Structure 1
Amino acid sequence: MDQTNPDWVPTLHMGYSEIRTSHSDRHRRRTQRQQKKALVGGFHNGAAECEGEASAEVTTEEQPEMDTTEEQHHNNLVILAEGQICVGQVEAEVTGADAENGDLRERQTDQRPTNDCVRCVQSRAEINRLLEENRKLKSLLDKTELNENFLKGDMEKVKYYTGLTCFAIFMSVLDNVKAFLPTSKKLSHFQMLLLTLMRLRLDLPVQHLSYLFNVSHKTLSSVFADTIDVLYARLGILVHWPERHCLQATMPPQFTETFGNQVAIIVDCFEIRTERPSNLKARAQTYSHYKGTHTMKYLIGITPQGAISFISKGWGGRASDKHITEQCGILNKLLPGDVVLADRDFDISDAVGMMCAEVKIPAFTRGFCQLDAKDIENTRAIAHLRIHVERVIVLRNKFKMLHTTMPIRSLLPCEGEDVTFLDKIMRMCCVLVNMCPSVVVKPDTHETCSC
């Protein structure tokens, strides 16, 4: 064999029967990695041990030099068989562990719907409780916030706070004036009207109302004045003199039996106390000998049905009833043939006669010892019918603000107008009285009229 020949190629002992050391090192590293994974997984320990034993046997049985391919093949078969045995054991253990884990998951899955259902029921019950509590708190808050829910559905509360008979009338008034009311960041139009009527009806102090509506003293005073101005401009016409045919069509029977259908109006005067003016002339003009204090006097006219058809401007308490009647303009509304019922202090026969009308007053003796029988009957009839005027005046007095002593600033003419702020308040109280049922005639005992 010429090994020096350039074409020579070795064919024997080329190293294929040797086991390189690098293979055993790689196997050892792989075994170590599997052992580490088995420690983490918890169920690969058996496989790692079996493979470790197999590798140890292979290591001990390996010979650095093997002469034949048959021995190598035999050893490989032995290692493969032992590895399959170990792998079978590992697979059995893994299968058992998987079965146990499957049973555990099934039990957890069976228990989870029950737990979830319990939690859902508890959560739903808690949500319902919170919603109910929230609803009750909102209801209580609405009752204390003085909004629409404060009066809605409670007629007694409406009567007490506003003087009106029902919530529908209140909302009707609001619909007629809310477009003209000033805007406010803290008060709604509903609250503006409510606080105005509350002050008229109950004469609540401004400071008290400020706390109720959570506004400043200045803001509430300004809102009250502005609301009165709007009410006076929009609803003041509700105190108006009716047409004669309307009066005759709705004349109560008790008036018809005594005076026919000619009674147009029943007049009387009342006084409102005021502060003492600093000006001497004003002090003399406002002092009332009848009341013994400083007052403003108003003439009020009431129809036979009990509606207020006339209210004069304020006059000093010193003015007589006759003087006010002649100067307030009520005589200009009389028609020929009208009958005016008045008290004996109204000596206005001459002035009424100038309008071709007639005034009926209770008779008085005028120096005689007693009255004639005819005068007694007429006086009794007039006094009986004039009771209705007193009842209407009492109804007007339900607005307690008119019972208090009015400040001097309310007696001054409003800017650009010929009426005072007290005149506006007085007229609005009469308007509110007209919105209430008549105290003279029941609503179903007389015909209605479009006037």
Structure 2
Amino acid sequence: MKMVHTCVVVGCRNRRTPGTTLSFYRFPRDPERKQRWIAAVNRQGWQPNDGSRLCSTHFISGKQVKNPRSPDYVPSVFGTTLSADGTEPFDVSDKHQAQVEAANALLFLQGQVLEAGPRAEPFPERGGAEASGCPDAPARPADGEPRAEGPAPSPCSDSAADCEEEVARLRREVRALRELAERSSLTEAALRADPEKVRFYTGLPSFFVLETVLWLLSPHLRADKGLKLSKFQQLLLALMRLRLDLRNQDLAYRFGVQVAAVARTVRAVVEAMSSTLVPTTVFWPSRDELRRNLPAAVRSACPDCVVVVDCFSVALERHDEADAVDAPARSLKYLIGVAPQGVVTFVSRGAPGHASDRELLERCGLLGKLLPGDVVLADRDLDASEAVAARGAQLRVAGCDGGEEDEEKRALRRHVGRVIGMAKKRYAMLNGPVESPFASDRAADMTTFDRVVRVVCALNNLCISAAPLE
């Protein structure tokens, strides 16, 4: 278990938590640089220990740089946070040295390099404007020419305050650019602040639901250093794959990883959700629970209805003309059971597209969940009345009786159709075509796409799947 580090800067509450994009740095071993870090932190009488950390928000570029000429060689971004003794972090006792560092930082940000030297002057004179690096500086007078009384003009030295102001402006600009990049990125902080972005990329109704799913999956996701993606990024990548049906190469570009890493991550997250999320959200309710929450329209039309079944097919990816000839076999068929309340309670494994609805109903395992007196409502005649009756239950087909009561049954069936339609609309991967690796990767008599269908139904149950049936 990793130690939870907190930034040592007074007033900074950043902590190392799962999924954070912040970096936390140890204090340098080099004595001189270490003292400069301690001075920048500006906590009177304080000394760091082995567990002391400084977060990346205190560096202009967002990370420490080991080049002594870089402004991020020493942390310098502290905002207006006060130190322990009440002074501001930028209040450096050696004002002259502060001017030197400010000027060096300005030249670095402008793409120039300042020669390092033992002198403590901001800019050493080298014989003229060109040598000094200051284009507006006047040339040094030649020998024999009259010199102005008083100290020699030193425009660069005189403008040290302007340099400090310019550095401060550049720091503000860097912060603004970092905030803009954060808002347009797919980080945890960006999604937490934008509910619409959560709905678009994940299909989930809020960041709270997304965070709850992450909490449930976290023990089952990788967190080793060999994987560049945090647990949050792993979950987000997989949800974007299901939600938008993006190609692996597209996701690889977005998250900065290899295509193979995307495929492994999607498979691992889907397996984790199939084993943890699905059992908690897709389950067969008890009869008492169904009766307590039965909608009024169902209570009047079909009070003993426990499930409405329907089938849908998803095309498989075609590779040659032979696939087009054998089109029925190049698809997967699923049977979905939906409770009258509108939540998915049963999902079958995928069957070949040419399998009949009756075969699928008899082999999927749904009949084993029925109790005597239960009513199963179907959209069309599945020719499985005898198999359902063997369980003491009854199969009814909406649209066969022709009366007012049957119209209510058809409304119930249409409601179930909306649930399935919303699931396919919310997660585009269910619309197909299914890529070969998802259909052929089989474990425990279940393909990866079988797990995908179950996971999508589980995620759909976390949302408002359709209009209330009242």
After TM superposition, the score normalised by the length of structure 2 is 0.61
Q: Hey, what does 1:143 align to over in structure 2?
A: 183
CA contact under 8 A between 2:198 and 2:204: conserved in structure 1? yes
**Aligned AA (1:426):** V
CA contact under 8 A between 1:273 and 1:406: conserved in structure 2? yes
Deviation string 1:9-55 (CA, Å, 9 cap, x unpaired) is xxxxxxxxxxxxxxxxxxxxxxxxxxxxxxxxxxxxxxxxxxxxxxx
Deviation string 1:360-401 (CA, Å, 9 cap, x unpaired) is 21354xxxxxxxxx6333432221111111100111112111
CA contact under 8 A between 1:337 and 1:358: conserved in structure 2? yes
Identity %, equivalent residues: 37
Correspondence for 1:431 among 434, 446, 458? 458
CA contact under 8 A between 2:419 and 2:466: conserved in structure 1? yes
Deviation string 1:120-175 (CA, Å, 9 cap, x unpaired) is 6x566445423422321221232344211231121211111111111111111111
Gaps of 5+ in 1: 1-106, 109-114, 365-373, 446-451
Gaps of 5+ in 2: 1-149, 152-156
Deviation string 1:193-234 (CA, Å, 9 cap, x unpaired) is 111110111111111111111111111111111111111111
Q: Is 1:375–2:417 an aligned residue pair?
A: no
Q: Hey, what does 1:206 align to over in structure 2?
A: 248
Q: Is 1:402–2:430 an aligned residue pair?
A: yes
Taking the aligned partners of 2:465 and 2:259, their CA distance within structure 1 comes to: 37
Correspondence for 2:173 among 104, 109, 133? 133
Q: Is 1:306–2:342 an aligned residue pair?
A: yes
Taking the aligned partners of 1:408 and 1:205, their CA distance within structure 2 comes to: 13
Return 295-304 or 127-136, whichever deviates more: 127-136
Deviation string 1:50-80 (CA, Å, 9 cap, x unpaired) is xxxxxxxxxxxxxxxxxxxxxxxxxxxxxxx
Correspondence for 2:200 among 160, 168, 185? 160
Return 374-383 or 197-206, whichever deviates more: 374-383
**Aligned AA (2:413):** R
Secondary structure (helix, strand or coil) at the match of 1:375 reads: coil
Change (3 A) 1:119 1:413: closer
Count of matched residue pairs: 311
Deviation string 1:393-442 (CA, Å, 9 cap, x unpaired) is 11111211122211333223534x22111101111110110010242438
**Aligned AA (1:434):** N
Taking the aligned partners of 2:240 and 2:366, their CA distance within structure 1 comes to: 31
Q: Hey, what does 2:308 align to over in structure 1?
A: 266
Q: Hey, what does 1:75 align to over in structure 2?
A: none
Correspondence for 2:209 among 158, 161, 169? 169
Q: Is 1:391–2:418 an aligned residue pair?
A: yes
Taking the aligned partners of 2:375 and 2:327, their CA distance within structure 1 comes to: 32
Secondary structure (helix, strand or coil) at the match of 1:345 reads: coil
Taking the aligned partners of 2:244 and 2:465, their CA distance within structure 1 comes to: 22
Q: Is 1:317–2:344 an aligned residue pair?
A: no
Change (3 A) 1:204 1:413: closer
Change (3 A) 1:185 1:325: closer
Secondary structure (helix, strand or coil) at the match of 2:446 reads: coil
Change (3 A) 1:314 1:408: same
CA contact under 8 A between 2:379 and 2:397: conserved in structure 1? yes
Taking the aligned partners of 2:253 and 2:324, their CA distance within structure 1 comes to: 36
CA contact under 8 A between 1:360 and 1:382: conserved in structure 2? no
Q: Hey, what does 1:242 align to over in structure 2?
A: 285
Change (3 A) 1:283 1:333: farther
Taking the aligned partners of 1:217 and 1:277, their CA distance within structure 2 comes to: 21
Q: Which structure carries more relative contact order (alpha carbon 8 Å, separation 6+)?
A: 1
Q: Hey, what does 1:180 align to over in structure 2?
A: 220
Higher helix share: 1
Bigger-Rg structure (1/2):
1
CA shift for structure 1 position 276: 4.9
**Aligned AA (2:275):** A
Which aligned runs of 4 or more in structure 1 are off by greater than 6 angstroms? Answer: none
Return 155-164 or 307-316, whichever deviates more: 155-164
Return 147-156 or 136-145, whichever deviates more: 136-145
Change (3 A) 1:433 1:205: same
Secondary structure (helix, strand or coil) at the match of 2:414 reads: helix
Q: Hey, what does 2:373 align to over in structure 1?
A: 337
CA contact under 8 A between 1:277 and 1:408: conserved in structure 2? no
Taking the aligned partners of 2:171 and 2:463, their CA distance within structure 1 comes to: 41
Q: Hey, what does 1:195 align to over in structure 2?
A: 237
Return 162-171 or 185-194, whichever deviates more: 185-194
Taking the aligned partners of 1:218 and 1:241, their CA distance within structure 2 comes to: 37
